[in-house]
Structure formats: structure tokens, C-alpha cells
Amino acid sequence: MKFEDYRIAEGLKKSISKLGYKKPTDIQYKSIPPILRGEDVLAIAQTGTGKTAAFAIPILHSLQERKISGRPDGVKCLVMTPTHELAIQTESVFNKLGKHTKIDTFCIHGGVDQEPQIEQLNKGVDVLIATPGRMFDLVSQGALNLKRVEILVLDEADHMLDLGFIKDIRDLMRHIPRKRQTLFFSATINEKIKKLAYSLVTKAIRIQIAPDDPVAKNIEHAVAFIEMDDKRFFLESLIRDNIESKMLVFVRTKLRAERVKNALARVDLVSDSIHSDKVQSYRASTMNSFRIGELKVLIATDVGARGIDIPNVDYVVNYDLPETLENYVHRIGRTGRGSQKGQAVSFCSPQENKFLEIIEKNLGKTIQRIAITEDDYKYTLDISEDNSQDLKSLLKEAEQEELKHKKRRGRTKR
């Protein structure tokens, strides 16, 4: 079935055609009809499968039909997302698909001045995309009324639970009508998510796109065994060998992100970092620079890059190995989006072998190994342009970074 065969608004079909979408993905094919019928949906599908369009297309059609027939003003659809970046990205998808409709979409999130957001809300919004913190701020101030919400979407629900938003989600129910359509989208499913989902939906249609291999077939992924203190040299080598490639590097902590960025700067390699300590304007600017290709290397924590659809990422590097299969799949799913090919490499230190065992056990197979001979390993260290390999200078740098980090945390608390 092609998109042109769906019984949806012509303006929507026009946008879909301009975006180059011809046939729906599996999650879109299975989700769009029940959403159009007004049914609740619980959908589980891996990252990169087109989940946002799967709910945006039928929502835009339904709201367009209601707008033509006339209806009261107010937010009719609320989409909750866990991070600023995902909220902005979701808004972009709605705006592109809804370009030839009469639906007004708006995004609110923290880290920026709320007054322009309040001003826009007062003008009228059909679809509101929001992160929990800013949304509740505006509700408590009386600047946001959710009493006319007809469709609730919880996107990246598993990540919202990871970030501790379960209380916020339950609190939200006090502010929206009990009679509504609820769409629950998640990349993973466990008992905790099931319990939350079934407390919110009514006779939901359950859709699960679960291939035998949770890693997309167009992603080549492998692991290299590298000592923790040597990882920066191998990252330097990988970047120099692929100097024009767009590379997303994942680390475990905000402090690690800054250390890796500084290590690359020492060898005259340009990179930038994104994590929750960065102000929103800086994060948005950095993401845009990476998205359009001005910035080639972006270092990120899981919170900074979860759910982000960045085009043409050539490499994902797990500089620090994640602790779970879910995070592994989410990370490497940043490359190989849609029909594009992608590559992912993980650096595994002896301390991280336990994480690799967990990932492979849950994956059900062994991840391909990158063979590094003793001579090649030594050569990679020897050719590095990093002149600060001595322990004293590295410890001093680490102390300075830790001090800066403590000062930033102190300012945040105040």
C-alpha cells in the first residue's frame, strides 16, 4: 500500500509526496489505520523505523477534519517527549507534514525564556509538543490549559521512565480529560512500561515490530578491545582515517564528554559536546551544526542524543560501552537511518567486558570483533599527535576538569 492510497487529507498527501515518502514503514503501516479510527495504540518499535510519522500523519489528518467542521479553540493534541532535542525534532516532523494543512504545531521546553512560549500559546495551538518540566511550569502558572486535549501521545516512553518522569506522567492525568485517545510509543518494553501503558490506555491495539535482530540490518557493528587510557588514541586514528565522515561519539558521563573533547583539541581535531550541563541555546546550535555537516564530530551522553534523528551519520562510536542492550541499540541506531548504510564501533576496555557479555547475551549472538595486532596497537599509540601522554599531566587535567564541573554544579543548585 502506498501513501497516496490512504484516505487522508490532500494537503497531507502533498507534504508526504514532497518529503519523498512513497510507502509506509512497518510501524506506520500498522499504526496509521487504528489511530485514524480513534483507537488507543501501544506501539513498540526499534529506533529509526519512522515512529514519529506513524502518529503525526493520522493526528494531522484527524485534527484537520475537525478544524474544517469547526471546533472549540485550545490544545487538541499533546505530545510528551523526554528531551529538548527530541521535542524540537518532533515539532519539525509535524511542521513538515502539516505544511499544507491548517494545523498549528508548537513546541515548549525548558532552558529558554518562557514568555515567547506563553505568547504563542495565547495565539492558539492545535498540537503541543512538550517536555514535562516546562509543561508543568506553565500549567501551574495558569498559562497552559489542557482541558480540551483529545489526543495524548507519550513518545520515547521507555526513556521518560529512565529519566524518572513516571510521577510527571501520572500527574498529567489530573490535567487532561479522561475521555481521550492515548498513543503510547516506545522502543523497548518491560514490565514497568507495560504497567504504566495499560494504566493509561483503553482496549489498546498493541503493535510490536520486533525483528529477530534488534539492530537494523543496514548497520555494520563491531567491537575493538582497547585499554581505557588508550581509547583517545584510537578515536584520533579513526577520525583521521575518516576525516570527512560525520561521527557521533557516545560517552558515559558529562565529565567524560568534556575530557574526550579536550583530548581531541590537543591533537588539533575539532569536535563539540552535548549533554545536560549545556544551556539549551548552545545545545540547539551544536545539534544544528552537526545536522547540516559543519561539525563533523559530536560527543554525546545518552541523555543528550536519545531519540534524535540526525541525517547522514556515517559512524557511531561507543567510546564507553553502554551497560544494556537497549542503550546499545539506541546508540548505534543513530546511524543507518532509513535505507542508508551505517557503521558502528565500540571500544571495550577490560573493565567493560561485563557490559559486553550482557549486551551479547540479550542480543543472542556475538558482536563482530575487530582484530588489532600487537604491532598495530603500538603503532596507533606511537603516531598520535598527543604530547600529554605522561600520567602527571593527565591527572592534572582531570583535576582541573573535575573542579570546573563542581563549580558548574554549584551554580546550577543556586
pLDDT for 402-411, tens place per residue? 566 555 555 5
Q: What is the pLDDT at residue 413?
A: 43
pLDDT category of residue 401 using cuts at 50, 70 and 90 = low
Pick the more confident residue, 229 or 410: 229
Q: What is the pLDDT at residue 250?
A: 96
The three grid cell numbers given for residue 371, joined into one nine-digit string = 582484530
In order of their start, the domains of the chain are 3-209 (3.40.50.300), 219-409 (3.40.50.300)
Q: Does 370 have pLDDT greater than 70? A: yes
Q: What is the pLDDT at residue 277?
A: 82
- In this prediction, what percent of the chain has a pLDDT beyond 70? 88
Residues 6+ apart with CB under 8 A from 335: 219, 248, 313, 314, 315, 316, 342, 343, 344
pLDDT category of residue 56 using cuts at 50, 70 and 90 = very high
Whole-Å CA distances, 160 to 77, 154, 213, 278 = 19, 9, 24, 20
> For the segment 186-196, what is each residue's pLDDT rounded down to a tens digit?
877 778 888 88
Q: Phi-psi region for residue 135, left (φ > 0), alpha (ψ -120 to 50) or beta?
A: alpha
Question: Which of 273, 340, 289 lies closest to 313, judged by CA?
Answer: 340
pLDDT category of residue 412 using cuts at 50, 70 and 90 = very low
Tell me the three state secondary structure of residue 364.
Answer: coil
Q: Which of 162-166, 204-208, 358-362 has the lowest mean pLDDT?
A: 162-166
Q: What is the pLDDT at residue 414?
A: 46
First CA to last CA across the chain, in angstroms? 56
The three grid cell numbers given for residue 375, joined into one nine-digit string = 604491532
Torsion from C-alpha of 290, 294, 296, 298, nearest 10 degrees: -30
CB-based contact 127:77 (threshold 8 Å): yes
pLDDT category of residue 373 using cuts at 50, 70 and 90 = very high
- Write out the H or E segment, with its range, that includes residue 209: strand 205-209
Q: Does 16 have pLDDT greater than 90? A: yes
Q: What is the pLDDT at residue 72?
A: 55
- Residues constituting the chain: 414
> For the segment 155-189, what is each residue's pLDDT rounded down to a tens digit?
988 878 777 788 888 888 989 999 999 999 987 77
Calpha distance 141→115 (Å, rounded): 12
Over residues 6-31, mean pLDDT: 92
Average model confidence (pLDDT) across the chain: 87
Q: Which of 254-258, 268-272, 276-280, 328-332 has the lowest mean pLDDT?
A: 276-280
Tell me the three state secondary structure of residue 255.
Answer: helix
Tell me the three state secondary structure of residue 49.
Answer: coil
Over residues 355-371, mean pLDDT: 93
